[in-house]
Amino acid sequence: MAQDPKAYKKVIAHLQRISAATRESGGETVAKRALLDMYCAAAPSIAAIKSEISPAIATWGELSVSGEWVIAANSDSHKRLLYIHGGSWMAGSPASHRSITSALAELSGCSVLSVAYRLAPESPFPAGLNDCIAAYRWLEANGPEGEAKAEALFVAGDSAGGNLSLSLLQALKQQGLAQPNAVAALSPATNLHQHYPSVSANKDIDPIINADLLPLVISNYLQGGDASNPLVSPVLGELGKLAPTLVQTGEREVLLDDSRYYAEKVSEQGGKVVLELWPEMPHVFQGFSPLLPEATQALENIAEFFAEYG
């Protein structure tokens, strides 16, 4: 049972209302983006962030990627976190995920760069991933106070952003570039090539993800691209020599097995991975801190994981 049953029911009802509205809209892009902006708005306390927000432009090569700095009172300008938001690769923004980025800035002591990568369908794969790579390379050499080499560098992302975080590791490996100190993937999609058993097994208990719309979401992102590409389905890549990775997911999710199988394959290939499965929790439950005690604990676990490697 959830630690706070009343708060838990409030979150589930909130997500069910968003899901119903999304189905009613047919997954239309403008509607989905507006609804995703409400994802974490289950209670006023969630929006009461403590961090300072300021605009950022990450320029690397020919790409200039917008985003925002999220800086807590204890943030270290040389200890940096790239945060990649979720939203089915077609919605979401740094603003929609401030409940997570602000908490991580405060708990980890990192200066957080939350990136506004390009979205599908206007900009399908690999545009968003390329933006994330550019932002990561820029973050290696730039902090909130200007040009300065990072002393520790982390990556985190949720859902589609979790997919992009793990795909980023694959891209860095392919390009012979250094991995981050550690990565946290929250409810990531790891295999766009096939659906795992949890998609059907949890179809009727996942309060937010409509399993029937997953093929449309994937097609919207790939637009003819190869779903077997490890830059799209990171579970299909070489996983043994990547950054230490923490994977968190709720057991009520249709994407539950995406996390399970990814962690299993990393372990089989000799990589460093920690898998946290949270009973009863929905997709990206971490966004509901401080309303949900489990969300607060999960964010604290991420900060502790980063501290271990940075």
Neighbours of 28 (CB within 10 A): 11
pLDDT at 200: 96
When the pLDDT of each residue in the chain is averaged and rounded to a whole number, the result is: 96
Distance CA 45, CA 292 (A): 11
Q: Which candidate in 75, 283, 289, 294 is catalytic? A: 283
pLDDT at 121: 96
pLDDT at 191: 98
pLDDT at 255: 97
Identify the domain containing residue 96 by its residue range: 5-309
Q: Is 159 a catalytic residue?
A: yes
Q: Is 147 a catalytic residue?
A: no
**Structural domain count, the chain:** 1
CATH number of the domain where residue 34 is located: 3.40.50.1820
- Chunked into runs of 10 residues, the chain (310 residues) has average pLDDT values of 92 96 84 92 94 98 97 98 98 97 98 98 98 98 97 98 98 97 98 94 96 93 97 98 98 98 98 98 98 98 97
Structure token digits, residue 61 = 């090569």
pLDDT at 2: 86
pLDDT at 194: 85
Q: Which candidate in 253, 259, 289, 294 is catalytic? A: 253
Q: Which candidate in 159, 167, 198, 233 is catalytic? A: 159
